[in-house]
Amino acid sequence: MTDATTRYARADFQSDQEVRWCPGCGDYTILATLQNLLADLDIDREKHVFVSGIGCASRLPYYMNTYGVHSIHGRAPALATGIAVANPELTTWVITGDGDALSIGGNHLIHMLRRNINVNIVLFNNQIYGLTKGQYSPTSEVGKRTRTSPAGSIDRPFNPVSLALGAEASFVARAIDMDRNHTRMVLEAAVAHRGSAFIEVYQNCNVFNDKAFAALTGRPGRDENRITLEPGQPILFGPDHERGVIVGATGARVVDVAEVGIDAISVHDPANPDPSMAFALSRLSHGPYGPTPIGIFRDVMRDTYEERLHRQIDEAKAKRGPGTLADLVKAHGTWTIE
């Protein structure tokens, strides 16, 4: 909903392209959440750029009435890096999936995160290859039976949040497609963050991997399993907040508050420069099968790659003065071949 100071509505960010995802796909909810958020951010529509690779999620740039690039498999971080460095005034997004980002694109992703490029990376994780009809992906659970693993996958899956934290990402979060308000809060915090913001969104594929996140979204187990991380608050969960999390030297563990007392429960601090607590929280669950944290794991300030690069360029200009392309071509380090 817009107010008197907002120039845009969601419709301003909807393109004229027919949205072609399977009926009931979680991608629709994420798309709507993004469009509503962008309308309320009140940033010039021309200053948003959406870059994607290959996969169901990667169709999203077609549906945004902004600038966008539908690139090749796994290479969206490389293209987005060039865009963000060339024009730091843009708000640059990478839209990707668990296969696109963590298989062929894994190398590009981790280097974007360690460099702290000012880009928002939204990873739609449905734990399956959806576009190519249901093969197991880098986040599929051990034993997953698919067309490419008929006897059950023997691969140990990636934990995307742990991976991002290990790559020294300065902002790391997890959301769930069905929880629009929470997803919006996470995305809004990512836009406000200066640097690489990595958001994993659990996204249901109702055709090839339906109800993969039922433990976190279904009524029977939702309250018992969803651990919502809130900055400055004790890490509590359960229907009556009767359970909590303690993070210690040996990692994170779930406890009954009645047994240990509320003062023993760890207080969440995503701004802690030491990522060890955030990493321990990410290891509580290796998938959406039991008590699983969602929310912002880490949000710390660090110079961006663009800031360091342009500072270096300015220092070079101040030291050597302005130059031309011809000066560069004729500079030392060239050779004459006879």
DSSP 57-106: GGGHHHHBSSEEEE--TT-HHHHHHHHHHH-TTSEEEEEEEHHIIIIITH
- Read off the pLDDT band of 49 (50, 70, 90): very high
Greater pLDDT, 335 or 242 = 242
Give residue 173's pLDDT. 98
The DSSP output letter for 34 is H
Backbone phi, then psi, for 334, in 5-degree steps?
A: -105, 160
Give residue 1's pLDDT. 44
Average pLDDT over residues 164-172: 97
| Tally of CB atoms within 10 A around 338 | 3
For the segment 120-162, what is each residue's pLDDT rounded down to a tens digit? 999 999 999 999 999 999 999 999 999 999 999 999 999 999 9
Q: Can you read off the two tokens belonging to residue 79? A: 């293209």
Q: Is the pLDDT of residue 260 over 90?
A: yes
Q: Is the pLDDT of residue 302 over 70?
A: yes
- Read off the pLDDT band of 252 (50, 70, 90): very high
Q: Cα separation of 92 and 114, whole Å?
A: 17
The fold for domain 1-212+303-338 equals Rossmann fold (3.40.50)
- Read off the pLDDT band of 295 (50, 70, 90): very high
> Strand pairing of 197-202 and 119-125?
parallel
Q: Is the pLDDT of residue 316 over 90?
A: no
Give residue 320's pLDDT. 76
Give residue 325's pLDDT. 74
Q: Is the pLDDT of residue 330 over 80?
A: no
Quick one: three-class SS letters along 165-225?
HHCCCCEEEEEECCCHHHHHHHHHHHHHCCCCEEEEEECCECCCECCCCHHHHCCCCHHHH
The residue assigned the tokens 């839209």 is 95
Give residue 335's pLDDT. 64
The residue assigned the tokens 């991997």 is 209
Query: Which residues, including other chains, have CB under 8 Å from residue 102's CB and lie 6 or more apart?
Result: 109, 123, 137, 138, 139, 158, 160, 163
Q: Can you read off the two tokens belonging to residue 56? A: 């169901």
Percent of the chain with pLDDT over 70: 97
> DSSP per residue over 232-292, as a string?
TSB-EESTTS-EEEEEETTEEEEEEHHHH-GGGSPBP-TT-S-THHHHHHHTS-SSTTSSE
Q: Is the pLDDT of residue 10 over 70?
A: yes
Strand order through the sheet with 171-176: 67-70, 48-52, 91-97, 119-125, 197-202, 171-176, 292-299, 226-228
Q: Report whether 287 contacts 139 (CB < 8 A).
A: yes
Greater pLDDT, 164 or 287 = 164
Q: Is the pLDDT of residue 5 over 70?
A: no
- Give the mean pLDDT of the chain: 93
Q: What is the pTM of this model?
A: 0.92
Q: Where is average pLDDT lowest: 33-47, 125-139, 315-329?
A: 315-329
Query: Which residues of the chain form CATH 3.40.50.970?
Result: 1-212+303-338
